[in-house]
A and B are shown apart, each in its own frame.
Chain A
């Protein structure tokens, strides 16, 4: 599998950074999901979702981020949520999101 091969030899991992808005709801969340899928289709092996501007992640946002994780896992890619604020880190820990992605706190 090509995706697997890229993942196990990350000499030059193809990293894509997607920056989220201040409020991760359905509208903005689905935009991010589409963008992430596009990047994965292009062969990206590391997906960084920058949440530095994101203050609130609601349930829809969580569902969408879990969808991103699922797509990335199927494509053999890693997911990193970066610059995550304290409340969101707690939420991710509580719901198990942190178990499937690297969460980097602010």
Chain B
């Protein structure tokens, strides 16, 4: 055509304008369906709903009368129907496959198979009558990344015409989207399953750890017949203090473990010193006072799920005023967990009988704790401990830990709740730590 000539519409020959318009409409319709399918698969909506919508889109894009989408279970070798439309009540919701079916699916890949050609598949032979009665015409194994994840069953087209290669291309493209959605879902299910398994394993490990810790505590307490159950009680008191301080579940558990193991160093101290029915002399005392450092040495190589367990053992005899041992640390130099265990340990020492003295009366013990807040004990830890006891006395907690450990009579000491409340009111505003933070 010469360049200088103007082009008029009459110069062009349109053999089938109607046919072109129809093809264009078909393209617009199917591409609209493909776009919607992509959006649906990418959305975070419910998986079942996604599959139901996907089936609608496949059927509606090409005007297919009936069909279904199935997910393949590689453990049960079954195709389980996720969504069906128009397949009738007799269509099986679960179709068994054999290895040969699986092999042929993988060989075929993600490509539609006409039902007339699919007769070679073993499972087609089993379900042939059902497929015939439901007028299935096309079968698409959903093979994604060399793995069968499901299948699409399609019935006749509403036009009554056979599937064209264009139709099959569309079915294939949509199948890829649906297959990816199923594969993604399978992956999520697998991740959830493994995560559940890991959680169970972790719980088992924690339980084993807790049992080991308790066994250690029992072993420690066995050395001292007078303080039987001391470590377990210190663990429990430390746990209550942690709770009252508003710690998280893991930290509270860590406090309990620190309490259970704080005296582990005593395993190396001679039994006669621990069980001496008299006040021990300086030499024996020096020997006994080595147990925090020894405890630290024993616990340090162990990888504890909680921090500071070895430090609690090492510093649970330190005091805020620096008069403790082994290092004579002051207030903020002492690890917090050690301060918690220190209070729990001292409380248990005052409230249990010793070979050379009886346990002290409850009011006397609480007065002592209050008096030493800011000297030996951290005031807010004393307050937390008092709150824990008060809660039990007021019936605000189910577990009666103090009553169980100290005895009913001890906990029913006259005026105990009032003196604890008074102590709490009196000490909080004037505690040294409060003053420091206020400044």
Contact = CB atoms under 8 A, between A and B. Distances in A.
A32 B273 CA distance: 89
A90 interface: yes
B20 to A, nearest CB: 13
B36 A66 contact: no
Nearest to B52: A26
A67 B85 contact: yes
Interface stretch (A2-10, A12-20, A46-54, A95-103): A95-103
Given A58-B32, A59-B33, A91-B25, A100 B61 contact: no
Contacts of A94: 22, 25-26, 29, 63
Contacts of B65: 66, 69-70
Contacts of A77: none
A61 interface: yes
Nearest to A57: B60
Nearest to B26: A94
Contacts of A69: 65
Interface residues of A, number: 20
Contacts of B59: 59, 62-63, 66
25 contacts: A58-B36, A58-B60, A59-B30, A59-B33, A59-B56, A59-B61, A60-B53, A60-B60, A62-B59, A63-B55, A63-B59, A63-B60, A64-B56, A66-B63, A66-B86, A66-B158, A69-B65, A70-B65, A95-B62, A95-B158, A95-B159, A96-B63, A97-B63, A99-B158, A99-B159
Given A59-B61, A91-B25, 8 more contacts: A59-B36, A64-B60, A66-B63, A70-B86, A90-B22, A90-B25, A94-B25, A99-B158
Interface of B: 22, 25-26, 29-30, 32-33, 36, 53, 55-57, 59-66, 85-86, 157-161
Interface of A: 26, 58-64, 66-67, 69-70, 90-91, 94-97, 99-100
